[in-house]
Structure 1
Amino acid sequence: MAGTLVVVGGGAMSAPYAWTQPAAEVAAEDFYIPPQPEGVPGTILRAEPSGLAMSAPGQPGVIPATATRLMYVSSDTHEAPTAVVGTYLEPTQPWTGPGIRPLIAYAVGTQGQGDQCAPSKLLPQLVQYQPPLDVIAEYDALALHSLLSRGMAVVVTDYHGLGTPDMHDYLNRKAQAYAVLDSARAALQLPGTSLNPGSPVILYGYSQGGMASAGAAELQPSYAPDLNVRGAYIGGPVVDTEHFIGYNDGKASIGPAFAFILNGIAADYPETRPVLDVELNDTGKGLMHDAQSKCAVAVGLALQQQHTSHWTSSGQPFTAVIDRSPALKTVFAEQRVGTRTPSVPVLISAAQNDEGAPFMPIRDMAAGWCGNGVPVQLESNAQIPTLFGLIGTHNLAFFPSLAASLQWVTDRLADQPAPTNCAALP
């Protein structure tokens, strides 16, 4: 289901994990092994035609576009150059709106942490399966189809570390945002497209992608002022990763999310590794180790509801561990979205009863942006009850938010006045 936060199909956990073990296997395909990332952010390092999944033999593709896989220069969370892979989708439909064809910088929902989970590997086949229980479907295909069928070009980033040898730093505010912004820069430089360097850009994402789109919106004025960004759609975002862990503690999805987050933190911030080594028990370290090679799926295969206290040496919830560790506290604070100000209108969609991405931090982010003069439209869906299991509130909220986002995006590209409910936020 679109926007699924995260559940990993597992198998038994491994023995205690040593931090010196390689973080992830290098992807077998030569394309994904990067050269030295030289050039300014957005520089294309390599590109090649890519396939798109077929609906049935001999039938048109599920996604109405032609695809180009590209590797481009971006920045990691410490501003160092890094290589990221993405996919540019040139629509087969004409653009019927005003001006030149726009570009959607699309940030996907949770894919997982294994290299096989990268969107650029899923788009040609839609489903990736590795026995016994690891599976991922490219659930963003519905939104991609909706955008492309309206004649909008789309570039989909894999994010930092998916497909490439680096660890994917899941829910890292800056790395995700930079990957999205630089994917747009790269697409605008790609030869043979219907775009040009001044094409209007919309930032777009749900779930993990919502957080990435929000981060990109507030970092764009300083990091990528060259982009002609017209607005940002931010659906069901994770705003505060520490709050996210506490809010989801005890739910079936917390184990994989917890592991993905900590794997990224350990890779990006070596000063946290001694703390994690002391504070996590063997089960917690094993969970992290196993998650490195897994994808996110829409059902809780082989998982039980657990609490983060099951994975700490002290038996305390992990939020208590964060609170007493200055190193972890600082790192988690760095991931909080809403500390800067976008320069473009934003549409934020969130379910008030979301069982995964909590609503109140989202509202607080919206209120902060409103206070700084940003035209914010916060759409809160209070109709969907809190649901758990195969189809949760977070999943179901994706569909009405998708429908609302398409008209909002179209209006921004037509230079219509941006709606705002800052005076009376829900």
Structure 2
Amino acid sequence: MTRRTAVVVGLVALVLLALAWPTTTLRLLPWLLALALVVGGAVVALRTGVNDVLRRVRGERADADRRGTGGRGGRGGRGAQPRVPTWLLLTAAAVPVLLLAATVVVHLGSRPTLDAFYAAPDPDEVPSQAGRVVRQEPFTTDVPDGAEGWRILYTTRDAAGEPALASATVVAPAGRPEPLPAVAVGHGTTGVARPCAPSASGDPFAGAKAALAQVVAAGAVAVTTDYVGLGAPGRHAYLDGPAAGANVLDAVRAAGEVRALAPTTVVWGHSQGGHAALWAGRLAPSYAPEVGVVGVAAFAPATDLTALVRDLSGPGGDRVLNAYLAVSWDETYDLGVREDEGWLAAHLADRVASRCLVGRDAVAAWAAASQLRGPVLGGDDLDRAEVAERLAANTPAVPDVPVLVAQGGADVVVRADLQRRWVAERCAAGETPRYVEYDGLDHGSLVADSSPLTAELVAWTRARLAGEPATDPTC
């Protein structure tokens, strides 16, 4: 590659890179140009000095000066006008080319693909009651040894209280036909687009997976909903409490058509799922008393949504989760927060919301979020009456059953101090959760297989299913 070609290729790649990553380019280009000037100047100065020393040693300086003034531009004249080394030009051209190639790979993503199971059924095939199976088939992805699984499409309700469809998985110990208790699970954030359903991914039981395998082996049926809008057709209402709670409870109702269930259920959930679990516990007595919820375990749950969103909109806040909430709530409640931030912010937020927190697609989501100059939902938005009312309305209370709230002390997504404050407020309101905080654990490691939460959660769940009284409430 000639120097001229290197310059042209580098400039073209830089222009394309700027179009793909406008904010990052504006932030980094001045620093990159300054670095190039410093490095290039240092290389030229060093090369000039070395050439000068060599000419002095060889006694060629005078001869080189004479040839330089002779107008023919001989060898010495060329040496007196050093050029930027070819390797430096090639490196400068290669950097934007490589970044552009990485951009293409990132934007290809790796979202799960939805097969025909998730397609909308014929309306005549859909029962009018919530908690009924529309479609079912065997499911084997990551099902524990000694267990059998199914995935189901079932009826439930959406954030407007209207009939809707959701998908879920059901996992039961093999060779146990008698009615067994259920452990209903709300999953953590995977995205807000249809392909982000955990049952469509290669890791459908992420979040306390080891504990789930143990309770299934001990004789419980695991029921894990994808929520409305993830997998099945519909709109996902991110952190809408009543909708998520109904999705969890209706999944258990529907699972009873696939596998005989006893009227005894413990509800689990991590992060977004912890929020869903708390709401399911609150709704159960009036919405689905036959499910028999006897306990709720929430791990790093989204609780005080006003405080949480202020965190997400502040310096260092998670721009992906902020964009998910802005896009989902705009579409669910017609709040118009994206438009308030301008067309570029709205476009970037939509790009983030089209991606899942799965594999390479998560990198694409974070990369798109890095182009946002600030939070999509934040600032003055939080002072708007309709936004403030939605945040308050979707903040959960503690159900009137034994409740375990587990929190990592090093969590930067749902901070421990915010969780402690919420627990104190619930205690002051006369509620009695049990709060356990694990020092050094963050949002992900709290539910890792090796987490100390695993053993405590399994023991706590077995006690609830056995009808033992709860002990050691925090309040």
Scaled by the length of structure 1, what TM-score is found? 0.75
The answer to whether the aligner puts 1:394 opposite 2:457 as a matched pair is no
Whether the aligned pair in 2 keeps the contact of 1:351 and 1:359 (CA below 8 Å) is yes
Q: 1:126 aligns with which of 197, 203, 207?
A: 203
The answer to whether the aligner puts 1:276 opposite 2:338 as a matched pair is yes
Measured after TM superposition, the shift of residue 117 of structure 1 is 2.1
Q: In structure 2, what is the equivalent of residue 288 of structure 1?
A: 349
Distance 1:63 1:13 in 2: 46
The 1:140/1:12 distance shift into structure 2, 3 A limit, reads farther
Measured after TM superposition, the shift of residue 321 of structure 1 is 2.3
Q: In structure 1, what is the equivalent of residue 311 of structure 2?
A: 247
Whether the aligned pair in 2 keeps the contact of 1:375 and 1:420 (CA below 8 Å) is no
Distance 1:214 1:158 in 2: 16
The answer to whether the aligner puts 1:324 opposite 2:324 as a matched pair is no
Distance 1:44 1:67 in 2: 15
**Structural mapping, 1:387-426, within 5 Å:** 393-398=442-447, 399-423=451-475
Whether the aligned pair in 1 keeps the contact of 2:210 and 2:454 (CA below 8 Å) is no
Measured after TM superposition, the shift of residue 232 of structure 1 is 0.6
- 1:151 partner SS: coil
5+ long unaligned stretches in structure 1: 1-10, 15-25, 54-60, 128-136, 386-392
**Structural mapping, 1:295-374, within 5 Å:** 295-297=356-358, 301=363, 303=366, 310-311=373-374, 318-338=377-397, 341-371=398-428, 373-374=430-431
5+ long unaligned stretches in structure 2: 1-18, 23-112
Q: In structure 2, what is the equivalent of residue 106 of structure 1?
A: 185
Q: 1:156 aligns with which of 218, 224, 229?
A: 224
Q: In structure 2, what is the equivalent of residue 388 of structure 1?
A: none
Whether the aligned pair in 1 keeps the contact of 2:192 and 2:328 (CA below 8 Å) is no
Measured after TM superposition, the shift of residue 250 of structure 1 is 5.4
- 2:192 partner SS: coil
> Greater relative contact order (Cα 8 A, min sep 6): structure 1 or 2?
1
- 2:444 partner SS: helix
- 1:347 partner SS: strand
Measured after TM superposition, the shift of residue 291 of structure 1 is 2.6
The 1:375/1:32 distance shift into structure 2, 3 A limit, reads farther
Distance 1:321 1:38 in 2: 44
- 1:276 partner SS: helix
Whether the aligned pair in 2 keeps the contact of 1:245 and 1:319 (CA below 8 Å) is yes
Measured after TM superposition, the shift of residue 252 of structure 1 is 6.4
Measured after TM superposition, the shift of residue 344 of structure 1 is 1.1
The 1:253/1:406 distance shift into structure 2, 3 A limit, reads farther
The answer to whether the aligner puts 1:169 opposite 2:248 as a matched pair is no
Whether the aligned pair in 2 keeps the contact of 1:367 and 1:422 (CA below 8 Å) is no
Measured after TM superposition, the shift of residue 126 of structure 1 is 3.1
Distance 1:73 1:32 in 2: 14
Larger radius of gyration: 2
Whether the aligned pair in 1 keeps the contact of 2:159 and 2:237 (CA below 8 Å) is no
More helix by share: 2
- 1:199 partner SS: strand
Measured after TM superposition, the shift of residue 105 of structure 1 is 0.6
The 1:306/1:286 distance shift into structure 2, 3 A limit, reads closer
Measured after TM superposition, the shift of residue 367 of structure 1 is 3.5
Scaled by the length of structure 2, what TM-score is found? 0.68
Q: 1:219 aligns with which of 280, 283, 307?
A: 283
Letter of the structure 2 residue corresponding to residue 348 of structure 1: V
Letter of the structure 2 residue corresponding to residue 148 of structure 1: V
Distance 1:306 1:251 in 2: 14
Letter of the structure 2 residue corresponding to residue 116 of structure 1: P
The answer to whether the aligner puts 1:228 opposite 2:280 as a matched pair is no
The 1:253/1:147 distance shift into structure 2, 3 A limit, reads farther
Aligned-pair RMSD on alpha carbons? 3.4
Q: In structure 2, what is the equivalent of residue 384 of structure 1?
A: 440
Distance 2:209 2:268 in 1: 14
- 2:320 partner SS: helix
Aligned-residue sequence identity (percent) comes to 25
The 1:364/1:298 distance shift into structure 2, 3 A limit, reads farther
Whether the aligned pair in 1 keeps the contact of 2:184 and 2:268 (CA below 8 Å) is yes
Return structure 1 stretches of 4+ with deviation > 6 angstroms: 304-309
